[in-house]
Copies of this chain bind each other. A is one copy, B any other.
Amino acid sequence: MSAVPLESPRSKGARQKLLEAALALVREQGYAATSVDELCQRAGVTKGAFFHHFRSKDALAVAAAEYWASATGAFFEAAPYHRHAEPLERVLGYIDFRKAILRGELPEFTCLVGTMVQEAYATHPDIRAACEAAICGHAATLESDIEAAMRRGGVRGDWTAQSLALHTQAVVQGAFVLAKATGTAEVACASLDHLRRYVELVFGRARPITTPGD
C-alpha cells in the first residue's frame, strides 16, 4: 500500500505513525481489543502525542478509515487494470487484481474498514459512517466501467451498475471473513473466481459449461 501524505512534515511523524499502528493493530485483533496504550506502543509515540493529535480512540478510528480510503484509493488508481481498452476487461481486471493481492499474512490483505464496521456499526455512528464512505466510495470507482460495459454489451436486467459494484465489495468482504475463519486465503481466491465467472456470465462473455441430457 502506498503511503499518502496527509500532514505537514513537522506534525507528520506521530500522527502518521498512529494511523499506521491503527491499520496494523485493528486488522490483527479488531477495534475494541486495541487500546490507546497499544496504539502508542506500536507507533512508538507517547500518550501525550496521541491526545495532541486525536481527542479519543474513536477519533483515531475515523481518521484511520479516512486514511485507509485515501491510501487504498491511490493504490487502486495506480493499478494496471485501468489500462485495458474494453470496459468489461477493466471490470474483470479489477477482480483479477483483487485476487492477485491476496498475498502474505491475513492482517496484511484483509480490510481495516470491513473489520471495524463489523463490531462498531451500532455503537460508534461516526466510525460506521467513515467505513461506509470508504467501502461505498471504493465501489463507486467501478461504476463507470460497469455502466460502459453494460452499454457496450447491450446488457439489461433488473440490476444496476451501482448494485453490481457494491456486490463486488460484498464478495471481497465476505471472502475476507471466510479467509479469517479458515486461516487461509484459498477460500477467498475461490470466491473471487466465482465473482469473475458471474461477471463473465452476466455480460454474455462466457456460457455455462453444460452437457444437456446428462
Q: Chain A interface (Cβ within 8 Å of chain B)?
A: 28-33, 106-107, 113-115, 117-123, 128, 131-132, 135-136, 151-159, 163-164, 166-167, 169-178, 180-183, 187-188, 190-191, 193-194, 197-198, 201-204, 207-214
| A125 smallest CB distance to B (angstroms) | 9
Complex CA distance for A29 and B32, rounded to whole angstroms = 9
- Name which residue of chain B comes closest to A28, CB basis: B122
* A170 near B178: Cβ-Cβ < 8 Å: yes
Partner of A159, one of B123, B172, B178, B197: B197
| Known interface pairs A157-B197, A163-B194; 7 further A-B residue pairs with C-beta atoms within 8 A, sorted by A's residue number | A28-B123, A29-B32, A33-B120, A114-B118, A157-B208, A197-B202, A198-B202
* B212 near A191: Cβ-Cβ < 8 Å: no
- Name which residue of chain B comes closest to A152, CB basis: B214
- 6 of the cross-chain contacts (CB-CB < 8 Å) are A29-B122, A114-B177, A132-B183, A153-B210, A154-B212, A203-B208
**Which residues of chain B have C-beta atoms less than 8 A from A207's C-beta?**
204
Complex CA distance for A152 and B79, rounded to whole angstroms = 42
- Name which residue of chain B comes closest to A194, CB basis: B167
Partner of A119, one of B30, B135, B151: B30
Query: Can you tell how many copies of this chain the complex includes?
Result: 2
What's the dominant secondary structure at chain A's contact region? Answer: helix
**Which residues of chain B have C-beta atoms less than 8 A from A171's C-beta?**
167, 170-171, 174, 191
Assuming A164-B194, A201-B208, is B128 touching A119 (CB within 8 A)? Answer: no
Complex CA distance for A142 and B144, rounded to whole angstroms = 35
Complex CA distance for A29 and B31, rounded to whole angstroms = 11
* B204 near A119: Cβ-Cβ < 8 Å: no
| A116 smallest CB distance to B (angstroms) | 9
Partner of A117, one of B107, B153, B170, B177: B177
- Name which residue of chain B comes closest to A139, CB basis: B178
Assuming A118-B115, A170-B191, A175-B170, is B30 touching A181 (CB within 8 A)? Answer: no
| A69 smallest CB distance to B (angstroms) | 12
